[in-house]
Amino acid sequence: MSQPEVQMGPNFIRNIIDEDLASGKHQTVITRFPPEPNGYLHIGHAKSICLNFGLASYYRGRCHLRFDDTNPVKEEQEYIDAIKEDVRWLGFEWDEYEFHASDYFETLYAYAEKLVEKDQAFVCDLTPDEMREYRGTLTEPGKQSPFRGRSVEENLDLLRRMRAGEFADGSRVLRAKIDMASPNLNLRDPIIYRILRATHPRTGDAWCIYPMYDFAHGQSDSIEEITHSLCTLEFQDHRPLYDWFCEALEIYHPQQIEFARLNLTYTVMSKRRLLELVNEKHVSGWDDPRMPTLSGMRRRGFPAAAIRTFCERIGVGKSDSVIDMTVLEDCVREELDQSAPRAMGVLRPLKVTITNYPEGASEEFTAPCHPKNPEMGCRTIPFSREIYVDRDDFMEDPPKKFFRLGPDREVRLRYGYIIHCDEIIRDPASGEVTELRCSYDPETGGGKLPEGRKKVKGIIHWVSAAHALPVKVRLYDRLLSVADPAGEKQRDDRELLNPDSLEQIDKALVEPGLATAEPGDAFQFERLGYFVVDAADSEPGRPVFNRVVTLRDTWAKVAEN
């Protein structure tokens, strides 16, 4: 099973596994990643994927990919395919160890009959509202169903007739017979099977009753001989039920271990809420680059290696916490800083005419593709009399630490000449600055500084007007406007959306060499940030660029370059 190199630091789960291997309780480690195919995976799932596959790789065991397909109403083949793509994109493979809860429907049903035969399960006719009423509260015990005393023979007959389709949807359920007075609500005679007529993505219409997750989960773990069943903390209260089923059925009993889920600032992790964003068209789809889905992050340009590093860096704990989005963004910057070639782009073009440069003339400057990686080689950048600089690099009344262009100021064009701003041209009607007329120092080309020439503090990026490639650029920001959406329970989710999460620039300009960039290619636009060629909307020779993350540079830092 080919896997990426996994850096697995010490954690409490590793301590448990080490003890199990040392004691001989287990000879190998078998984990599983069990997503429900009712939506796309998000960054929270990435933590579970990296943990389960990472531990299996670290201990030279194996990790199963098992689809929890027990609710056909919400599950689709599209989601199954997307989950596989996401896990592979993160770098993990499961080889022949792909399973589905539906693989075990016959076995699970046989387990249900076994519980009935042991008088540990019964068919209940209570309506959903009545069942909620009978269940009790956290401070008050529940009441036993009036159908709890049915005989084994009657329960077995009713269960078989449920499977045969004799009863209407929702009219009856099979419940475990545990303890209606238990302080743990999960043990108050939980539902095992419900009647549900829906076409299943894999089994079609073969079944009209389906097992509940709490029943199917542990038994599937048992069938696959999972050694360590890793779940997030919300399943801690479900563990007694997990244990009860295995013990009542007298089958192999895996160990369930809970760890803290990933919570990220400015992010919603609920599949239901993400689905609402998609269905209500607040985003363009599950792969919208603002979404915390893995497909969205892939399209945004987040490298898979950066997400693995992030999951390693945040560690594995037992207490819920919220991780700042900047931790993830820093991992992305670190990865792209090493791998992304450099280029120059101008997002908000401002025309500059070099008045003392010959009309019709042009030349080329040579620049490294990556200043820290000479093996990437060099690129050529055309220069001509008319260029474009970024409008943000000019101010008429600049503050003290603004070292870019201004009236009667000098800057160096990155890899090019030093220029001096001589004149400002305005639109007669609006007064807006439409052009700068500058002069250049011909002795300073290619970064040269003649002896005795005063060094300028500012360096700005630019493109040649005659050669630049017009492109569309999308600038993405946080999807939500609040860091802790969980703390905003009084506000509708839609009110938390950041209205500035997307800015589209239709007339940006980049170096002409980027015309051959392909979907997924990432670049650092110097001084602007990291950008990737959009995989959905780009066409040959007409790339669309998504901003992955910004740079950390400030005005002062730019001035030092």
SS3 537: coil
The half-sphere exposure of 466 on its side-chain side, counting CA atoms within 13 A, is 13
Angle, helix 77-89 to helix 43-58, in steps of 10 degrees = 60
Q: How many Cα atoms are found within 13 Å in the side-chain-facing hemisphere of 70?
A: 24
- Residue tagged active-site, from 261, 351, 437, 457: 261
CA 18, CA 24: separation in Å to the nearest integer? Answer: 10
Evaluate whether 216 touches 185 at the Cβ level (below 8 Å): no
364 a catalytic residue: no
N-terminal to C-terminal alpha carbon distance within the chain: 46
The neighbouring-strand residues paired with 352 are 387, 436
CB 534 within 8 A of CB 544: yes
Among 62, 175, 271, 300, the one annotated catalytic: 271
Give the 3-state secondary structure of 308-367. HHHHHHHCCCCCCCEECHHHHHHHHHHHHHHHCCEECEECCEEEEEECCCCCCCEEEEEE
Pairing of strands 418-426, 410-413: antiparallel
Residue type, 209: I
**Which one of 14, 36, 148, 472 is the catalytic residue?**
36
Annotation marks residue 401 as catalytic: no
Is 271 catalytic? The answer is yes
Could you please report the per-residue DSSP string of 96-123? Answer: T-EEEGGGGHHHHHHHHHHHHHTT-EEE
Catalytic residue annotation? 36, 261, 271
